[in-house]
Structure 1
Amino acid sequence: MKTTTRNAYARRIDAVIAHLQHALDDGGPLPDLPELAAVAHLSPFHFHRVWRALTGETLGRTVARLRLLRALHLLGDPEVAIGEVAGIAGYETPQAFARAFRDAFDASPGELRGQPDRIATAAAALGMPVCSGGATPLQVEVVSVDPFEVVALRNRGAFADLDTAFGELFGWAAEAGAAEAIVGLHGVPLGDHRDVPPEEFEFDCAIRLSTDIGPPAPLRRMTLGGGDHARVRHVGAYEGLEDLVDRVLAEWWPGSGYPLRDAPIHYEFLDDPETVPEALLRADVFVPLAAEGASRASDSGR
């Protein structure tokens, strides 16, 4: 990535952090996602995912880290009582503050009060994560994908249990006499399984058919593709797909000249985990892109 491009995105991240810090200092409500996305000049649709890729942490973790930094700063001020720190730093209760503080520093706020060296060490430990590139260079290509229809079933549960939903799709196709018409397996993540509790994680499992059959509820038709996409091949356990998406967004996308389009990322699974060794599983990741010129026009003057 060009240094100027890297610096431009670093400035966007810094602007969002400054915006969050200002809101925390004011003690008011935190900015919502569209507001933060606007500050970063990023698509609200992909903001959480882009933020994680570019910073190495979730937005929630960033807010938690800024609150702890605010608390450390307040502990260094003898005029602020320890009992006041929790409220000023944005914690709902002193108990919640004490738990978060001990989890982060293995010490209570009282233990660090009056110890500037320990406070400085704790603050340094809360620096931004370091995002390192993967050892294998990315092989990303921009492809135009015609829209296509799939039959989908939304799964709510652990990522490792997606085979249950795919099993239901295969069972319906077999009953409908369309098992031989399955020409593709696809998936649309509706969150990040690394950050969402398993019981809350949602994922649209889908099959593509070469014949037109109307599915019964809760199965439904869904259209994927349409327009330009960044396509990259993943090899290995399917649980690592999100790590590859992070690399695309952190290493390739900022210097690509393409803005992200407000459409979901989707996967095409090329192998069956029941018959192919985990290390050899293949899947293609498709990241939706808008026109290249739109990015350059939107970046002008910044």
Structure 2
Amino acid sequence: MNRLAGLRQAQGIERVIDHLQGCLRAQQTLPDVAALASIAHQSPYHFQRLYRALTGESPGQTLDRLRLLSALQALQQPGASITDAALAAGYESAQALARRCRQRLAATPRTLRADAGLRQHWQRVLAQPPADDNEDKATPLKVEVRALQPFEVVLLRAQGAFGDLDASFGRLFEWAQTQGLANDLLHLVGIAIDDHRDVPARAHRFDCGIGFATALPSLPSPLRRQALGAGPHAVVRHVGPYEQLQVVSDVLMRDWWPGSGHALAEAPLYFHFLDDPEQVPAERLRADVCLPLAG
């Protein structure tokens, strides 16, 4: 099971990368995440997390790497202009390519075109995903598979830096107080829409959620309700800064799930926060990473 599941995962990721390369060559509109998940034969709920766990980068970072590689390959062609290379690789202009080369390669397209050794060095680097930095090679996870009881939460979509999520939870608490629900609080959860390691802080999206011991009233926009916790889950208790939860999720998806014998449920992975960061030191914060499994 381990070998077969791992092979299927790898083949799915290869299909996505091949498709992205084909889109670049044909200068086609790039597919969205749902379409990429379909190509990989993965659930949209889990595709991005699984993709990063297996490759070390997000789909967007893969695209950025392949686009730069395509531009460098075009620059080595005799007579190719910088504008030609930029447009062939999907950049809007020579200026856009130059800006990205300076940011990522610390060199200008003109320098890269003239210096074959430097260009070939970066072609070798960009041809492969980033090397594993061993950030998630700590003690193996202790995973418990257990049936959880379903519960309902009120969600609020937050956008901004991961460290600023307290403000969104604060808005939820204020709403709960107006509804007389503050004393019935049972659950504090989070659902990562984006990985805070992969996107700019301003673009990071995260669903903040709270659940109660009593039934929920009608919800005003932008609040919404969602059921969580039904059925079997793989649960990992994390102790430490909440910023590390994405790393724990990577290890769970990459190292535990393929050989577990479990299929993934059509439901999101979520974090069940057990401590208040304002009251507990970061190194002692507890949270459960909950991965829904098909029953």
| One-letter identity of the residue aligned with 1:190 | I
TM-superposition CA deviations, 1:157-190 (whole Å, max 9, x none)? 3322222333343344445544332222222223
Q: 1:216 to 1:108 in 2, by over 3 A?
A: closer
Structure 1: segments with no counterpart, 5+ residues: 292-302
Deviations 1:226-245 (A, max 9, x none): 12222111111112211211
Aligned to 1:98: 98
Aligned residues: 291
- Alignment CA distance shift 1:173-1:113 (3 Å): closer
> Which residue number corresponds to residue 162 of structure 1?
165
> What is the CA–CA distance in structure 2 between the aligned matches of 1:4 and 1:212, rounded to whole Å?
44
d(CA) in 2 for partners of 1:137, 1:34 = 31
Q: 1:258 to 1:115 in 2, by over 3 A?
A: same
Supply the RMSD in Å over aligned alpha carbons: 2.5
So what's the TM-score if we normalise by structure 2?
Answer: 0.87
The more displaced of 41-50 and 53-62 is 41-50
Task: Return the alpha-carbon distance in structure 2 between the equivalents of residues 184 and 83 of structure 1.
Answer: 54
For normalisation by structure 1, the TM-score amounts to 0.85
- By how many angstroms is 1:99 displaced? 1.1
Structure 1 residue runs of 4+, over 6 Å off? none
Identify unmatched segments of 5+ residues in structure 2: none
Paired AA for residue 144 in structure 1: A
Within 2, Cα distance between the matches of 1:202 and 1:34?
16
CA distance in 1, matches of 2:95, 2:39: 33
Whether 1:258 and 2:262 are equivalent positions in the alignment is yes
Task: Among all aligned residue pairs of Structure 1 and Structure 2, give the percentage whose two residues are the same amino acid.
Answer: 47
Letter in structure 2 aligned against 1:179: A
Q: How does 1:55-204 map to 2 (within 5 A)?
A: 55-126=55-126, 127-131=128-132, 132=134, 133-204=136-207
Assess if the C-alpha contact under 8 Å between 2:57 and 2:198 holds in 1. no
CA distance in 2, matches of 1:83, 1:275: 55
- Kindly indicate whether the alpha-carbon contact (under 8 Å) linking 2:262 and 2:293 is maintained by their aligned counterparts in 1: yes
Q: Indicate the SS of the match to 1:113.
A: helix
1:270 is aligned to 274
Q: Return the alpha-carbon distance in structure 1 between the equivalents of residues 93 and 229 of structure 2.
A: 47
Counterpart-to-counterpart distance in 1, 2:262 and 2:167 = 36
Q: Which of 146-155 and 267-276 deviates more?
A: 146-155
| Pairwise CA distance, 1:216 | 5.3
* TM-aligned CA deviation for residue 73 of structure 1: 1.4
Q: Rate the CA distance shift 1:71–1:269 in 2: closer, same or farther, 3 A.
A: same
